[in-house]
Amino acid sequence: MINLKVKPFYLKDEDIKWVEDTLGDMGIEEKVGQLFCPIGTTDDKEELKALLSKIKPGGIMYRPCDGVVMQETHKFLQENSNIPLLIAANLEAGGNGICTNGTYYGKQMQVAATDNEVMAYKLGLVCGREGGAVGCNWAFSPIIDIDMNFRNPITNVRTYGSDPYRVLKMAKEYMRGINESGLAVAIKHFPGDGVDERDHHLLTSINSLSTEKWDDTFGMVYKNMIEAGAQTVMVGHIMLPEYTKKLIPGIRHEDIMPATLSKELLGTLLREKLGFNGLIVTDATPMIGFASAEKREVAVPKAIAAGCDMFLFNKNIGEDFAFMMDGIKKGILTLERLDEAVTRILALKASLKLHEQKAKGTLVPDKEALLQLKCEEHEKWAKECADKSVTLVKDTQKLLPISPEKYKRIRLYVLEENGGGFKEGASVTANLIEGLENAGFEVYLFDNKKLDFREVFTGSVNELKEKYDLMLYVANIETASNQTTVRINWAQPMAANAPWFVKEIPTMFISTANPYHLFDVPMVKTYINAYSSNEYVVQAIIDKITGKSEFKGKNPVDPFCNLWNAKL
């Protein structure tokens, strides 16, 4: 039985009446439509009208686009939907999670490196204000995964680090900021990513912790976030086998399901033990971790039957809708469970006052709200976060600070992979060169695509010494979905851009994306982590390596990757 008057809905009698009346007026097909939160693929009004007429979805989520386009699209959707929509976005690092012209405040691990909860609160405010400016009301954030495994290719800088207590304190403050801005959160990815070294976009991954260890880490974080009022939980395509075996003694290994299809993890663990009363949404269902776990015609209704209330994205929404309807006919999904899921969807909407905003025509604000995108205050906060987060991991050769008098000629190696995986970061090359040249250095960019084969095969040590005073590496290899590793792939032939010369010429390595590159360059004696690739971070890096500003960041993870020689 759902109690709509308590956490996290806190509905009043008139709100409950709207939920009950709305549910009572809906046929089965309309209820099934509410279960779906498809990805937005167009701003074409006729296509959107067709979606709203045929499926009548409960929500929608777009990838980032220009703020004006996003606001107009969201406004059209809300004006043409009888029941207000939940409009979601991955507001993890700033307003750039929904607007290409929004503020890129900083990745969660950058915020964690400040060791200052105020920075997390301000991230929440930026995300909430800028997301709200274009009509978003649901944030698929904060990420409360714990980055226990440095090899994991997707958690990494998207998390608040490896310390569960730091993850909790940062996530709570982020949630406070975004809730104050009027948006609901979705804490993710239950039962917890970051233990496996694989990506559940590509397979069903595993959280292999014992029940006791899980309770002390992920369970502790989830329980406290739920008690603090988290409105929704996003469930990953991640198995938690030790808990499943505890809750279902004797279960066969082949019958263990990812959390999105697991009654015992959603019902017994999340609902009963952790006391979660809010809405449960699946992670994206085209992900292979979901798609390969069960036949789709079974998996679609089974996800709701298992305890998820909303179904995120589709392979084909018409087919998935038919699968859901067939699942009801076949008894996979009961009408009672359907009503329960839709009740929670409507209750979340009521808790956000979407029904009242719909009546007033204020679901999406006026164009004036777009002035909040990358506004002066938000940029000021982003600069502050950058200043407090850049972390000097080691300088055992006593290289810093550098100056044009001592290291005039810099050869710059930029290791950058920006394609695919819905990466949201920026290129760092132009900002780096401009900043270093403004500081008085001469910068010579190494071109990985135009290799000097004479240098690679026959060049001498003395030639390099005569040409350059400092070798500077900047790695901007982003963590993102659908990739198996986040490692350095050196240019071929002969790893032509690798730092073989660390004993010959002073060498420094800076990472603006992945804090674990010492795994591949333990020989480098000066190493800095900066976690994000925005312009504020690049300027903070230059200020710090030139001595204009001190390093203030604290390691949110072990950047040495458990390697003793990486500390030398």
Catalytic residues: 283
Q: State the sign of the Cα–Cα–Cα–Cα dihedral 36, 41, 43, 49.
A: negative
Radius of gyration, alpha carbons of the chain: 25
Which of 166, 66, 53, 50 is CA-nearest to residue 119? Answer: 166
Furthest-apart CA atoms within the chain: distance in Å: 82
Q: Cα(369)–Cα(181) distance, rounded to whole angstroms?
A: 13
Q: Cα(409)–Cα(521) distance, rounded to whole angstroms?
A: 22
| Helix (DSSP H) and strand (DSSP E) numbers for the chain | 21, 16
Which of 235, 154, 236, 261 is CA-nearest to residue 198? Answer: 154
Which residues is 176 bridged to in the sheet?
Answer: none
3-class SS of residue 414 = strand
Residue 85 DSSP label: P
3-class SS of residue 187 = strand
Q: Which tokens belong to 453?
A: 């084969």
- Where in 66-183 does DSSP place strands (E)? 86-89, 138-139
User: Which segments of 418-460 does DSSP mark as H helices, in order?
Assistant: 429-438, 453-458
Q: What is the DSSP string of 461-496?
A: HHHHHHH-SEEEEEEEE---SS-S-----PPTTTTT
Cα dihedral 319/321/322/328 (nearest 10): 150
- In a 13 Å sphere around the CA of 497, the CA atoms on its Cβ side amount to 23
Q: Are the C-beta atoms of residues 282 and 303 closer than 8 Å to each other?
A: yes
Which of 481, 473, 504 is CA-nearest to residue 423? Answer: 481
Residue 159 DSSP label: S
Q: Which tokens belong to 241?
A: 């086998």
Contacts of 361-367 with CB under 8 Å at 24 or more apart are 363/75, 363/78, 363/84, 363/135, 363/137, 364/71, 364/74, 364/75, 364/78, 364/134, 364/135, 365/71, 365/132, 365/133, 365/135, 367/68, 367/71
Residue 469 CB contacts under 8 Å (≥ 6 apart), including other chains: 406, 407, 408, 409, 410, 505, 506
Which residues is 99 bridged to in the sheet?
Answer: 65
Which residues is 317 bridged to in the sheet?
Answer: none
Q: How many CB atoms lie within 10 A of CB 463?
A: 12
